[in-house]
Amino acid sequence: MSDELGPGNGAQAGHAQDCFGVEVVAKPPLDQGVGLGDLLIKGHHLPRQLGRHLATAAFPTTPDGYHRLLEWLRAHGEVRAVGVEGTGAYGSELARFLRTNEVTVVDMDRPDRKARRANGNSDSVDAYAPATAVLSGRANGRPKTRDGIVEAIRSLRVVRHLAIKSRTQTINQIRTLIVSAPAEVRERLRRLPIYHLIAQLARSRLGADLADPICAVRTALRRLARRYQHLTEEIAEADAELEPLIAQAAPGLVELVGVGTETAAQLLITAGDNPDRLKSEASVAHLCGASPISASSGRTNRHRLNRGGGRQANHALRTIASCGCATTPAHGSMSRDARPKARQRRTSSAASNASLRARSTST
């Protein structure tokens, strides 16, 4: 079964469809060699009917539609697991509903592009692919529960991130307007630091004639400056709301060197409200894109950087490492001791390169 609500399936970005398609695939009765994670539906069929398509249906994305969906699924057999696409977006409410009704939810990746090109694209095809993936055991990921304090942190952080992005765009627009403004305005503002620039523009007086370019640019700059101030206040309010929540969710995390409110929030969001789904440090590193990937061939044994995983979590780890190296005395002393040796190596390397160039020129 698959929740077909993504933009790639006919929905506009940011808006869910009115219904989703469901596929049910047959599974033989349980035996000792079958685990719960390998099941979609346990139907009363012979083993030779494994993977047979049973039924297709569509249900509205409403609470009533979810109840009708679950009744329809149980009418075909005992529901053991359901594969849902977009458990962090359009399928989040469906995943919550199924977990509430004690149905195991398996997080699904997007459909394989090669299979899509070969089989075409439709709601029925896209729903059948996750069903077979759960049935065969290829898909066994546990989705985030999204029902605790980490989900509250994520919601508040979304607004904070948007405010920071808007504030950056605002100050960039202010700088652009100053560059292209008449000299009478530009020369008074171009060398001011941001704090004094915003304060001066926000309390500036407006002219009476907006047809005058000088008056118009002053009006635009004043509005942008006040927008900048409003966004700064909004970011400060978000920080004040996030700090106690992060301290409550992970009190030991924020006490580590180099970990601040922003990086701690990102790591919590990446792990989710059920961090027990991450079995080891290696799985956390893989989730954050910090685990090396084998790139060996023949007698060459090497690894490369992992370009997958959560890039925001990877950036948070890099920020923590950079701050730790800069603030920890041990790291600082090591870097100071290494500087003369590095400078000596660069000097000797430059001298050898210069001698090689002189020899080549003389020959």
| Alpha helices per DSSP H over the chain | 63-74, 92-100, 113-119, 123-136, 149-180, 183-189, 194-202, 213-249, 261-271, 281-287, 311-327, 329-362
d(CA 317, CA 301): 26
Q: What is the pLDDT of residue 7?
A: 34
- Tokens read off for 105: 């939810």
Angle at 312 between CA 145 and CA 173, to 5 degrees: 120
- 4-13: long-range contacts at Cβ-Cβ below 8 A with a sequence spacing of 24 or more? 4/85, 4/123, 4/126, 4/127, 5/61, 5/85, 5/86, 5/89, 5/90, 5/91, 6/85, 6/86, 6/89, 6/90, 6/110, 8/110, 9/121, 9/123, 9/126, 10/123, 11/90
Strand, coil or helix: 85: strand
Evaluate if residue 246 carries a pLDDT over 70.
yes
- Under the banding of pLDDT at 50, 70 and 90, the label for residue 347 is low
Closest CA to 69 of 60, 78, 77: 60
Q: Which residue has the tokens 């000097």?
A: 347
- Tokens read off for 92: 């989040």
d(CA 332, CA 323): 11
- Most trustworthy range by pLDDT among 65-69, 76-80, 82-86: 65-69
244-268: b (≥16 Cβ within 10 Å) or e: ebbeebbeeebeeebbebbbbbbbb
Q: For all residues of the chain together, what is the average pLDDT?
A: 78
Ranges of each domain in the chain = 7-136, 149-249, 278-327
| Mean pLDDT score, 277-294 | 89
| Mean pLDDT score, 254-261 | 86
d(CA 273, CA 103): 18
Q: Flag the least confident range among 27-41, 71-85, 327-341.
A: 27-41
Residue 363: beta bridge partners?
A: none
pLDDT in tens, 162-190: 999 999 999 999 999 999 898 888 988 88
